[in-house]
Amino acid sequence: MLLDKQLIEDKNKSLLSAHKRSFEFTADGVANLNQVLQKLVAFQIAIPSWALGTGGTRFGRFSGSGEPRNLEEKLSDVGLLHALNQSSGAISLHIPWDIPQDAAAIKALAASYYIKFDAVNSNTFQDQATQEHSYKFGSLQHVDKAVRKQAIDHNIEVIKQGVALGSKALTVWLADGSCFPGQLNFRGAWERTYESLQEIYAALPYDWKVFVEYKAFEPNFYSMSVGDWGQSYLYASKLGPKAYTLVDLGHHLPNTNIEQIVSLLMMENKLAGFHFNDSKYGDDDLTVGSINPYQLFLIFNELVEGMDAKGMNHATDLGWMIDASHNVKDPLEDLLQSIEAIMIAYAQALLVDTKALKEAQAVNDVVRCQEILQTAYRTDVRSLVAQARLLSGGALQPLNLYRQMNIRKELVKERGEKTVATGL
């Protein structure tokens, strides 16, 4: 389904005068308005190919309708999102959930929606019908060399798929670990994982990166072989300059200070980027900003401060991606909400008076530091984000337009009631 540009423009017209009023009100207090808007226009967040269908838990899955049945339809869904908000111009593929049969054709189709290919993801946490060895007891860490080789080969194959699509990074998330004390020799598991990662690293094209994602627990519940940023950092720093640590917001124990992790990783030039989501307990994969928007703002505050300190390009120097699962919402609506939450947090971070904050920090004026951060956080920046969308041809109100146009209904007509997308 293609969204007509003219239609978006027409819909925007009826909202324009109300938008103008709130935009002018907010814009009045923004010193570097044009710069902020330009940054918002440039900022793009990749959509994971596995999040376009309804997700589930191990207790069940309540599939929605009109879900994409193949990669082509997934691209079309991301195309829809991007047409609406002009901020989701990339897709991240999980292989083998989404294997392009004809890379050139898929690339051309993506280009017709103005979509690029973000990092490609390998999957050694599930057994595929065709594979010889099982990952039940791990993949890159496995005690059996043959299993490790199979997992390494799979990662190299994923790199090849990515090259054909124009991706520039491989994300490795390992479910490896142990469920019970004594099951695994920690050092042995670490060394085997490292050796396997070295082989994958050696297969990276010169302009590629590898992102080592960590996760505190699940599916293993006693130890994870890449369980926190320290372990990931250790792998990444030993592997070399093309290896980075990937932060997935849901992969921490409760109350972890993620913004501090981000700041230090950036300081060491080892932050790969993000998998955005939100959570109350663990890897809940909820809509970004639905539980703890203040934390998201604090993270963006560190990101902006850290990237500026290094003269980095906000839009392109780190990898921005959503990694969420939608069990009770329409996936496309959920993703629109997530993108909006990310843009809002980013816009708020851009409004932080960094000069004043530095001054207040230098004299230990703790009260003023908090005031400065919260002044930015409590600014209603929704009209700034909407203005950026307007400037780039998106919809002033993407979610409302999606509903007004009955897009899901149209997709159900096209794809059917009982369609289940690949993914978790």
Residue ranges binding ligand RM4 (CB under 6 A) = 50, 94, 121, 173, 213, 215, 248, 275, 283, 323, 424
Least CB distance from residue 53 to ligand RM4, whole Å?
A: 13
Q: What are phi and psi for residue 183, nearest 5 degrees?
A: -65, -30
CB-nearer residue toward ligand RM4: 326 or 408: 326
240 Rama sector, left if φ>0, alpha if ψ -120 to 50, beta otherwise: left
The one among 142, 275, 314, 389 contacting Mn ion by CB under 5 A: 275
Q: What are phi and psi for residue 412, nearest 5 degrees?
A: -65, -40
CB-nearer residue toward ligand RM4: 93 or 386: 93
Dist CA 396 CA 386 (whole Å): 5
Least CB distance from residue 121 to ligand RM4, whole Å?
A: 5
197 Rama sector, left if φ>0, alpha if ψ -120 to 50, beta otherwise: alpha
By the rule CB under 5 A, 323 interacts with Mn ion: yes
> Are 81 and 6 a contacting pair, CB within 8 Å?
no
Which residues are bridge partners to 377 per DSSP? none
Least CB distance from residue 50 to ligand RM4, whole Å?
A: 6
Residue 300 interaction partner, one of ligand RM4, Mn ion, none, beta carbon < 5-8 Å per kind: none
Dist CA 230 CA 388 (whole Å): 37
Least CB distance from residue 165 to ligand RM4, whole Å?
A: 17
Residue 77 interaction partner, one of Mn ion, ligand RM4, none, beta carbon < 5-8 Å per kind: none
CB-nearer residue toward Mn ion: 67 or 278: 278
> Are 170 and 155 a contacting pair, CB within 8 Å?
yes
CB-nearer residue toward ligand RM4: 243 or 390: 243
- List C-alpha distances in Å: 206 to 161, 163, 198, 203: 16, 11, 15, 9
CB-nearer residue toward ligand RM4: 118 or 248: 248
Least CB distance from residue 396 to ligand RM4, whole Å?
A: 32
By the rule CB under 5 A, 118 interacts with Mn ion: no
Residue 424 interaction partner, one of ligand RM4, Mn ion, none, beta carbon < 5-8 Å per kind: ligand RM4
> Angle at the Cα of 317 (from 314 to 321), degrees rounded to 5?
80
Which residue has its beta carbon closest to ligand RM4? 173
DSSP 32: T
Within residues 157-196, the interface with Mn ion by CB under 5 A covers none
Residues lying near Mn ion in the complex (CB under 5 A): 248, 275, 283, 323
